[in-house]
Amino acid sequence: MDRVMVLLMGFISIMVINNLVLTKFLGICLFLGVSGRLDMGFGMGAAVTFVVTLAGTLTWLIDHMILRPYGLQVMQYVSFILVIAGAVQLVEMYVRKFFTGLYDSFGIFLPLITTNCAILGLCLFINLWDVDNLPEAAVLSLGAGLGFTLAICIMAGIRENLRMADVPACLKGAPITLITAGLLTLAFMGFAGMVR
Amino acid sequence: MAGLWGENPVLRLLLGMCPTLAVTAAVKPALTMGISVIFVLVCANIVVSLMRNLLKSHLRILMFTLTIATFVTMADLFLKAYLPAMSETLGPYIPLIIVNCIIICRAEACASKNGLFISVVDAVGMGLGFTLTLCMLAGVRELLATGMFAGHAIMPKAFVPWAAMGLPVGAFITLGLILALVNQITRKRS
């Protein structure tokens, strides 16, 4: 029971309290790039969730099964990025085959998931926090992905409405989006201290 | 040298937002970050430019990332050895240089098409533009959040620090306002 509790707390913590986008600034490029429309935001969130779960779990395995026993931590970054690139390639092929419309609307952003800081960032954070068992690593990765989806969907919802608002000319586009994101982090700060 | 203003990576192209926001709570880490990025950017551009004729198109991005990852590992180990405190502060954001869009973008847009000299100059320009922007943002935030600049108190005693500027909120809103300022200047000129 204790185990389950710890996992659940970790899940909630990474999803809302330590949300990667809003408190750790990871994945901002994507967050600003595809949050213009709700359906695209959600599709991208789903793709990132899949990749991050896969990558987080795999990199934990590689780190603990191969790199640490043989003292190869120097290779960490290189091997992490390889795993991520492989996972993204997989998703890209899948989306191109089954969701052609979505594939076209993503354009360049889909291969760019490889260079999405959220994914590598999470792998590094798992490493940094010394997560020492596989279920916890997997749950944390999934939570991080869902947290990203949550943030990008909220953002997309706000931006869809923002289009009707009368924004001063110099604030149009990126500046107002950043300021909105800032206010969103303020809202998410309300969750701080809930667990851990 | 368009990277300094005309094509400033952060302010104009909106690249590399993640380190820009994350390490700019104070000037010193921002400067360290900027210098590391310049190092990686120059080295990666040199290597990519030298091997541009050998690259197969579909494996291109992968090769770029691997090259960059190698240099980032070097920078990371260097910081750990000589500036352990700074390495602690920057935490995972140094390895995250690997996925900094600026570097991949320059490798793709410049180094894979141009010769050595142009690539190096481009890398230095872009890197300096990035560093300057970072320092500007960090300067504003550190000044308002703690009343200090690079660790030296310069605001009068009566100044009440704005704690929020040191938090994520401050990062997003300051950058938003700086971008708005840049937009305004550009519009005035044209």
The tens digit of pLDDT for each residue in B21-51 reads 888 778 888 888 889 989 998 998 888 888 8
- Note whether residue A195 is domain-resident: no
- Res B152: pLDDT: 66
- Res B106: pLDDT: 80
Cα A184 to Cα A174: distance, rounded to the nearest angstrom: 15
Q: Give the gap in angstroms from C-alpha A1 to the nearest C-alpha of chain B.
A: 32
DSSP A30-73: HHHHSTTSHHHHHHHHHHHHHHHHHHHHHHHHHIIIIITTTT-G
| Cβ A34 vs Cβ A40: under 8 Å | yes
Q: Which residue has the higher pLDDT, B107 or B159?
A: B107
The dihedral of CA A134, A49, B98, B4: what is its sign?
negative
How confident is the model over A131-141, as pLDDT tens digits? Answer: 778 888 888 88
In the structure, how many helices (H) and strands (E) does chain B have? 7, 2
> Would you say residue A196 has pLDDT above 60?
no
Tally of structural domains, chain A: 1
**Helix intervals (H) in chain B:** 17-22, 27-50, 60-82, 84-90, 101-106, 116-146, 168-189
How confident is the model over A37-85, as pLDDT tens digits? Answer: 788 888 888 888 888 888 888 888 888 888 878 877 777 888 888 888 8
pLDDT over 70 for what percent of chain B?
86
- Note whether residue A117 is domain-resident: yes
CA neighbor of B10 nearest in space, from B186, B166, B132:
B132
- Res B120: pLDDT: 87
Cα B33 to Cα B92: distance, rounded to the nearest angstrom: 12
B70 chain-A contacts, CB cut-off 8 A = 78
How confident is the model over B128-144, as pLDDT tens digits? Answer: 888 888 888 888 888 88
Cα A185 to Cα B149: distance, rounded to the nearest angstrom: 25
β-bridge mates for residue B148, sequence order: B153
- Note whether residue A163 is domain-resident: yes
Q: Do A174 and B69 touch (CB under 8 A)?
A: no
Backbone torsions φ then ψ of A145, nearest 5 degrees: -60, -45
Mean pLDDT across the stretch A97-122? 75
Confidence bin at A33 (pLDDT 50/70/90): confident
Mean pLDDT across the stretch A155-176? 81
- Which residues lie below 8 Å from residue B132, measured CB to CB, with a gap of 6+? B4, B34
Confidence bin at A191 (pLDDT 50/70/90): confident
Q: Do B176 and A177 touch (CB under 8 A)?
A: yes
- Note whether residue A125 is domain-resident: yes
> Would you say residue A180 has pLDDT above 70?
yes
Cα A27 to Cα A48: distance, rounded to the nearest angstrom: 10
Mean pLDDT across the stretch A118-129? 81
**Host domain of residue A166:** 19-187
- Res B158: pLDDT: 65
CA neighbor of A100 nearest in space, from A92, A111, A109, A88:
A92
Q: Give the gap in angstroms from C-alpha B60 to the nearest C-alpha of chain A.
A: 12
Mean pLDDT across the stretch B52-63? 75
Cα A146 to Cα A47: distance, rounded to the nearest angstrom: 10
* B66: its two tokens: 């691997």
* A171: its two tokens: 């604030």
Q: Where are the domains of chain B?
A: 2-189
Backbone torsions φ then ψ of A34, nearest 5 degrees: -110, 15
- Note whether residue A12 is domain-resident: no
> Would you say residue B154 has pLDDT above 70?
no
B177 chain-A contacts, CB cut-off 8 A = 175, 179
What's the pTM?
A: 0.81
Q: Is the reported ipTM for this assembly greater than 0.85?
A: no
